Amino acid sequence: MCPIHAQGLQTWPGQLTPSADLQLPCGTVLDFRAPEEILRSHADLWLTELSGLSTEMLDSGWSDVLGQAHKALSARLNEGDKGDGEDVGVLSDVVTMAGLAHRAAVAGDLFQAASSLSLAETLALKF
């Protein structure tokens, strides 16, 4: 964080000094958790609710989980009635990112899957 914003967050557990080496913009958060933990966090915080997956399904492996989520979100996109003012363009972008996350998980790259879901989450916040 830059010095101006760091002043207001003295109890923030992360680094409060600007990172001259990394050249990161103020407010950037680096996530050092294992990709499985990041994926689980996405599932718990928004993906299961948005895609309608059951939490029991989360034990079946990330390629299956992300495949089911992508399928469910694609079906939602293709429904005639989009519900309460849901932005079809945004949902289409979320479906694309969920599809990329699924493909990455199938290829065994859970870091890429987690990155794609992070972008999907940012998009989904626009609903």
| Binds Zn ion by CB under 5 A, chosen from 2, 34, 45, 75 | 2
Q: Does residue 19 interact with Zn ion by CB under 5 A?
A: no
Smallest gap from residue 11 Cβ to Zn ion (A):
17
C-beta of 1 vs 105, nearer to Zn ion: 1
C-beta of 26 vs 107, nearer to Zn ion: 26
Query: DSSP string spanning 27-86?
Result: T-----S-HHHHHHHHIIIIIHHHHT--GGGGGG-HHHHHHHHHHHHHHHHHSS---SS-
Of 23-52, binders to Zn ion (CB under 5 A) are: 26
Residue 38: HSE in the Cβ half-sphere, 13 Å Cα cutoff? 18
Q: Does residue 5 interact with Zn ion by CB under 5 A?
A: yes
Chain positions contacting Zn ion, by CB under 5 A? 2, 5, 26
